[in-house]
Structure 1
């Protein structure tokens, strides 16, 4: 496996590979699209943050996480399992997110989900282990592997912003679905995670241009 995305030097190495492997990535680099490193803590804390952030705004996720952290100290799966549903709902978690995090916390606490072993696993294998947990879908697994673990080949093919960025960058007639984007991403192995970061950066740039005054 390639080195984890923990430094700007590794990120640049991945970007250099993509520039050589894909003319479209090379064009985006020439246009000044710069991917961001951005990393969150690994383990249960990082996984919980990702689950909380699903389908809510960044501001809402931060507010919910802040309330949860006042009662989740230390932020371990064992501590989470001690909290009541009432206290978790009062912090802002939906019933579905409570169930997902309880399932994940139990899997980790009982040793069936060993997140500490993930750095040595291929992205696809780690992804499969995460999605066995009830409530954790492909997007959550990919985002955890990319942003908490820094896996260079994790690729969130179901992310709408990545899909739309690929449509724009590659001049596609319609936004590719997860299956089509996974096929497109084969050319980026073993740096698909860096490619995702490039596409996110490109998406933000396009949206900023659209919002600029004429």
Structure 2
């Protein structure tokens, strides 16, 4: 596995490799599309943050996370399991997210989800371990691997912003689905995670030009 995405130097190395491998990535770089490193803490806290943010706006996710962290101290699996469903729902978690995070906490404590060791695995292996947990889908697994572990080859092919950015950047007739985008991303190995960051940055740039919220 390539070096983890923990420094700007590694990010720049990945960007250089992408530009050499793909003329479109080279063009985006020449146009000034520059992603940020953006990393979150690994472990239960980082995975919980991602689950909280599923299918809600950034503002809502931030507010819910703030209320959850106010009652979740320390942010550990043990502390989460000690909280009642009522207090978690009062913080803003849906019933589904409560079930998911209880499943995550249980899997960690019972040794079936070794979050501390996922960075040593290939992206596909780590992804498979995460998605075995009830409520953790492919998008959540890939975003955790990319933003919490800094895995350079994790690729959230189901992310709508990444798909739309790929459509625009590559002049495609329609937005690629997860399967089509996964095939397109083969050219970016072992830096697919950096490519995803480029596409997110490009998406924000396009939306800013259009005057729409990114």
TM-score by length of 2: 0.98
Which position in structure 1 is the counterpart of 2:203? 203
Separation (CA, whole Å) in 1 of partners of 2:39 and 2:79? 24
Separation (CA, whole Å) in 2 of partners of 1:197 and 1:69? 27
- For the aligned residues, what is the CA RMSD? 0.7
Q: What pairs up with 1:1-214 in 2 under 5 angstroms?
A: 1-211=1-211
Separation (CA, whole Å) in 1 of partners of 2:81 and 2:67? 17
The alpha-carbon deviation at position 46 of structure 1 amounts to 0.2
* Alpha-carbon displacement from aligned partner over 1:54-79 (angstroms, at most 9, x marks no partner): 01111111111111111100000011
Query: What stretches of structure 1 of length at least 5 have no aligned partner?
Result: none
Separation (CA, whole Å) in 2 of partners of 1:40 and 1:107? 21
* Alpha-carbon displacement from aligned partner over 1:71-123 (angstroms, at most 9, x marks no partner): 10000001101111000000000000000000000000111100111111000
Query: What stretches of structure 2 of length at least 5 have no aligned partner?
Result: none
* Alpha-carbon displacement from aligned partner over 1:119-162 (angstroms, at most 9, x marks no partner): 11000100000000000000000000000000000000000000
Separation (CA, whole Å) in 2 of partners of 1:123 and 1:209? 34
Separation (CA, whole Å) in 2 of partners of 1:137 and 1:81? 21
Separation (CA, whole Å) in 1 of partners of 2:208 and 2:62? 23
Separation (CA, whole Å) in 1 of partners of 2:153 and 2:114? 19
Separation (CA, whole Å) in 1 of partners of 2:190 and 2:70? 39
Separation (CA, whole Å) in 2 of partners of 1:47 and 1:128? 15
Query: Where do 4+ consecutive residues of structure 1 move more than 6 Å?
Result: none
